[in-house]
Amino acid sequence: MWDRLYVNARLATLEGNAPYGAIEAGALAIEGATIAYAGPQADLSEPPDGLARQVEDLEGRWMTPGLIDCHTHLVYGGDRAREFELRLEGASYEEIARAGGGIVSTVAATRAASREDLLAAARPRLHALMAEGVTTVEIKSGYGLDLENELKQLWVARRLGEELPVTVKTTFLGAHALPPEAKGDSAAYIDAVVDMMPQVKASGLADAVDAFCETIGFTPEETAKVFIAAQAQGLPVKLHADQLSDLGGAALAARFSALSADHLEYTSDEGIAAMAEAGTVAVLLPGAFYFLRETKLPPIEGFRRAGVPIALATDSNPGSAPVTSLLLMLNMAATFFRMTPEEALRGVTRHGARALGMAETHGTLSVGKAADLAVWDIDHPAELAYRIGFNPLAFAVKAGRRL
């Protein structure tokens, strides 16, 4: 006997290459925290009541894998609403960063915040994501920029995953910006980040390592030092790459077999080819593209042609993407990037899982994978990308437990 069986469901399994991996007249069974059956209801061996302790009729609702937001900076102090005003008065994101605002201003607020403060600030943001069916979220540090404060951020991220029914994957982003006390000495700061790596690993608080490779971030050479240190500790890497200029970040990430390279507006053909070769996922962040009023589109057609999997995420952060709606990212990916609604949904399920190294266990409705599910009051899965500011989630299931 299965624990629960959903019948009369339409399944967007995201398996295989058929549109949405759709199964009309489907059924899905849960045993413990795992999917035990996902397929046509007609293929069940007996009437539903004989197969599960609990049977629920979904009345034709669509079920998808729980959504995955694979790139966020959800834990931070303060906000940057004043910076938003400055940009509307004509200052650019880079100018503000160079003048000591930007990321560094969030660093000051994050250092000043206690763990409790950071938890209290992040909780409603995470709740907003979860309300739209997000069951897995990645959270980066990068607003501490010293060992104590980076670990504080990572601890808060882990704690959120223990408190709430959501899987949190954490990423150490010590190489996000130069802290004020580094006084412009980026080489010395990168050495400090490299020195932090064994303690970051030993803390058990980081699942991966990220860096910001950019003219206002770190050079490819500095980024490579951080990656070498990460890999020496057995930590997988990913990269903020080619967001505002082409420094060859995508190719660099691929050279280190990165899980993902993220942003990618300026990625070259060489970068695309290297990512395809390495199996690195392209994580696109349409909310940051929108909020910074970028005009250079990421090379979507190039990724498609090369077979690079494309994931989508909110990039939720106070400066470039104060976004807490993953559904809105589906819409923006379609409107700005001309991704199809199906590609967009794959981007926040199957490919999002792969970007976090979770492809074996998450991201599709497949037997043996985690029973992380979202059930929607929609008639067609394209509606998830079509609507703006409307949440059709009926309910979500996390690790077999209905939320």
* Candidate list 65, 101, 248, 319; residue touching ligand NIG; CB under 6 A: 319
Any contact of residue 145 with ligand NIG (CB under 6 A)?
no
Q: Exactly one of 64, 72, 106, 280 binds ligand NIG (CB under 6 A); which one?
A: 106
* The one segment of 15-23, 101-109, 376-384, 390-398 that binds ligand NIG by CB under 6 A: 101-109
Q: Which does 106 bind (CB under 5 to 8 A by kind): ligand NIG, Fe ion, none?
A: ligand NIG
Q: What is the DSSP letter of 50?
A: G
Selected from 288, 308, 334, 353, the binder of ligand NIG by CB under 6 A is 288
Binding at 266: pick from ligand NIG, Fe ion, none (beta carbon under 5-8 Å per type):
none
Backbone CA torsion sign across 118, 313, 350, 14: positive
Do 39 and 27 meet the contact criterion of CB atoms below 8 Å apart?
yes
Distance, CA of 101 to CA of 199 (rounded, Å):
29
Q: Does 171 bind ligand NIG (CB under 6 A)?
A: no
Token pair for residue 253?
A: 């990430």
Residues that bind Fe ion (CB under 5 A): 315
Contact call for residues 99 and 82 (beta carbons, < 8 A): no
192-221 binders of ligand NIG (CB under 6 A): 212
Strand (E) or helix (H) holding 347: helix 341-347
Please report, for residues 27, 48, 69, 367, the alpha-carbon distance to residue 42 in angstroms, rounded to integers and kept in the order given.
Answer: 9, 10, 34, 17
Nearer CB in complex with ligand NIG: 135/243: 243
Stretch that binds ligand NIG, among 112-120, 316-324, 353-361, 369-377 (CB under 6 A): 316-324
Instruction: Choose, by CB under 6 A, the member of 4, 240, 354, 398 that binds ligand NIG.
Output: 240
Structure tokens that stand for 235 in this block: 């930590």
Hey, what's the torsion of the CAs at 105, 107, 109, 113, to 10 degrees? 180
Within 132-239, where are the H helices?
147-163, 186-203, 220-232
- Judged by CB under 6 A, the number of residues near ligand NIG is 14
Instruction: Decide which of ligand NIG, Fe ion, none touches 212; Cβ closer than 5 to 8 Å per partner kind.
Output: ligand NIG
Instruction: For residue 280, state whether it binds ligand NIG (rule: CB under 6 A).
Output: no
Q: Are 137 and 74 in contact (CB under 8 A)?
A: yes
Can you tell me the distance from the alpha carbon of 161 to that of 199, in angstroms, rounded to the nearest whole number? 21
Q: Mask of contacts with ligand NIG, 64-83, x by CB under 6 A?
A: ---------x----------
Q: How far is the CB of 212 from ligand NIG (least distance, A)?
A: 5
Q: Give the binding site for ligand NIG (CB under 6 A).
A: 73, 102-103, 106, 212, 240, 243, 288, 315, 317-321
